[in-house]
């Protein structure tokens, strides 16, 4: 499982000229389920994301979470995070979860974020999406379940 978190002042997703999700201050999370991923990993990611202290406090230090600031999350499915780019010039995506399982884990992840107390907006799984964001910082964190603790 992989996720890319971007601290944003605002972000939105548009599909077929319709905004499907939009937030003000918070996190844009690009989410990728891979073969063999499980619900417990998605729940763990949601817990970590909700409590990760990457927003500044009154002293300008990254000491507040998205929950602390009353921010929201825009979660976007992004199977291309599973890209195998090392061999040749065309990346392969065979490491991504099959679409049915990928969508199930994406929805589970979004619900897990909600259960942590976050307001969650979403993209549309499997759709071509236009994602707009104003990265705040910039602050970008890459999460990979294969990384050791």
The domains of the chain are located at 2-144
Check 45, 79, 108, 109 and give the catalytic one: 79
Q: Name the token pair of 76.
A: 């976007």
End-to-end CA distance of the chain: 14
Check 14, 45, 55, 78 and give the catalytic one: 78
Is 109 labeled as catalytic in the residue annotation? no
Which of these CATH numbers, 3.50.80.10, 3.40.50.10260, 3.40.50.12160, 3.40.50.2020, describes 2-144?
3.50.80.10
pLDDT at 147: 85
pLDDT at 110: 98
pLDDT at 149: 55
pLDDT at residue 17 is higher than 80: yes
Is 6 labeled as catalytic in the residue annotation? no
Is 79 labeled as catalytic in the residue annotation? yes
Write the pLDDT tens digit of every residue in 101-130: 999 999 999 999 999 999 999 999 999 999
**Which residue, 34, 36, 129, 38, is CA-closest to 76?**
129
- Global confidence as pTM: 0.95
């Amino acid at each position: 499982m992989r996720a890319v978190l971007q601290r944003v002042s605002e972000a939105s997703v548009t599909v077929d000229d319709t905004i499907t999700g939009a937030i003000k201050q918070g996190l844009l999370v690009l989410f990728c389920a891979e073969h063999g991923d499980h619900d417990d990993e998605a729940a763990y990611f949601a817990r970590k994301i909700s409590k990760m202290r990457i927003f500044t406090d009154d002293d300008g230090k990254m000491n507040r979470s998205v929950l602390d600031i009353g921010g929201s999350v825009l979660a976007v499915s992004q199977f291309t995070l599973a890209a195998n780019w090392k061999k040749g010039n065309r990346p392969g995506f065979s490491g991504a979860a099959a679409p049915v399982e990928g969508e199930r884990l994406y929805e589970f992840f979004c619900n897990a974020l909600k259960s942590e107390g976050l307001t969650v907006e979403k993209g549309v799984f499997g759709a071509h999406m236009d994602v707009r964001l104003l990265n705040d910082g910039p602050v970008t964190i890459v999460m990979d379940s294969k990384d050791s603790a």
